[in-house]
Amino acid sequence: MLYDLPSRVHGLLPACVLLLGWLCLVPVTAQGQAHTASDPALLIHGGAGSISADEMSDERETAYREALRTALKEGNAVLQNGGSALEAVQAAITTMESDTLFNAGRGAVLTSENTVELDAAIMDGKTRNAGALTGVKTVKHPIRLARTIMEESYHVMFAQDGAEAFARQQGLELVENDYFITEARRSGDGREAADPPSAPDEKFGTVGAVALDVDGNLAAGTSTGGISNKEFGRVGDSPIIGAGTYASNRSCAVSATGQGEFFIRGVAAHSIASRVRFGDMSLSDAAQATIDEIEELGGVGGVIVLDREGNMATPFSTQGMFRARVGADGEMTVRIFGDE
C-alpha cells in the first residue's frame, strides 16, 4: 500500500511521475534515442549527363530551371504544412512526371519498339518499407503506384502486367501509352541517349527526390523511363532498392541517376548509406566515394543524398546534373552545370 512506503519515497513520487510523463512526450528514433523536431529539407534531381552550358540554349535552360523550381516548391509546400517526407517526395516527383522535359512519366524516352516503359521506387526511412515497379505502360504516375505497392501490398516490387493489374485493382489513374510519348521523342530530337546507350553524349533524365520532415524521418523516391532504345524488358537501377533508391533514418536517403547497370553492380544507394552508418565518413565523402567507385567500374552518373541533420550532397561524374534544394533557411537553389 502507498501509505506503508517510507516518507522519503513519498517525496520522490511526484518527481517520478513528472519524469515519466516527459519521457512519454519525447519522440523516439529507430535507434531508441530521443529525437527533437527537425528542420524540413528537400533535395531533387532531374537527371545527369552531357549537360553543357555551351550546348544548351538560354530558353531551354530557363525552362529546366523553372521546372525544377516548380517541383521543389510542390514538395516543400508539403513539408512546410507538416506533411511527411514520403508525401513530399511523391509530390515533387509527380510534378516532374507531368513535365515533358524529363525522362519520367509524360516525356519519357522510347524503347526499341517505340513504346514507353516506366520504372519507379519509393522508400520510407523510418520503417525501411519500400515499393517499386518496372515496365509499366499505362500508369499515369508511377511514383504513386510505387507508394501504393509499399502501403497496400505485402510485396516490394511488381513487374509489367502484374504491376498494371495491381494499379487497376487499386483504382490508380491509367492512360493510353501514347499519352507519355511527345512529338520530340517520336521524332528522335528529344532522345536522351545515343545508340549504344553507353555513348559519351548520353543524358539521363531520370527524376528523384529525398526529403526530411519535421518529425526527423527521411524518404527517397526515383522515377524513370530508362534508357533510350532499350530492349528485352531491360530494368535499370531506379526501381532497385539499394541500387538507385534507398532511405534509412539510421543513415541517409539516396536517389541516383546515370548508367543503371553500373549503379546496380555497385549497389550504389546502399553503399552510400552503409559508408555513412558504418564507415565513419561524412555524407559528402561517402557519396563521392561511391560515385568514384562507379567510375572505376566504367559507369557515370550522380546521386542526391540527405541525412537527418539536413546535410546534403550532390556528387556527379558527368558534365552536369539537374538539381535543386531547399533547407532549414528556406532558400531555394537550382543548379544544372558542373561549375555552379
The catalytic residues are 206
160: which residues sit within 8 A by CB, 6+ positions away?
134, 135, 136, 233
Length of the chain: 340
- 332 close to 40: Cβ distance less than 8 angstroms: no
Nearest Cα to 151, choosing from 125, 131, 166? 131
142: which residues sit within 8 A by CB, 6+ positions away?
97, 104, 105, 118, 119, 120, 133, 136, 223
Q: Which triple of cell numbers denotes residue 67?
A: 521546372
Q: Is the peptide bond before 197 cis (omega within 30 degrees of 0)?
A: no
- 136 close to 149: Cβ distance less than 8 angstroms: no
Residue type for position 235? V
Q: Which triple of cell numbers denotes residue 87?
A: 508525401
Q: Which triple of cell numbers denotes residue 238?
A: 531506379
Among all chains, which residue has been given the C-alpha cell 549537360? 51
| Rounded-to-integer distance, Cα 321 and Cα 191, Å | 17
329: which residues sit within 8 A by CB, 6+ positions away?
none
Nearest Cα to 226, choosing from 135, 125, 137? 135
Tell me 301's DSSP state.
E
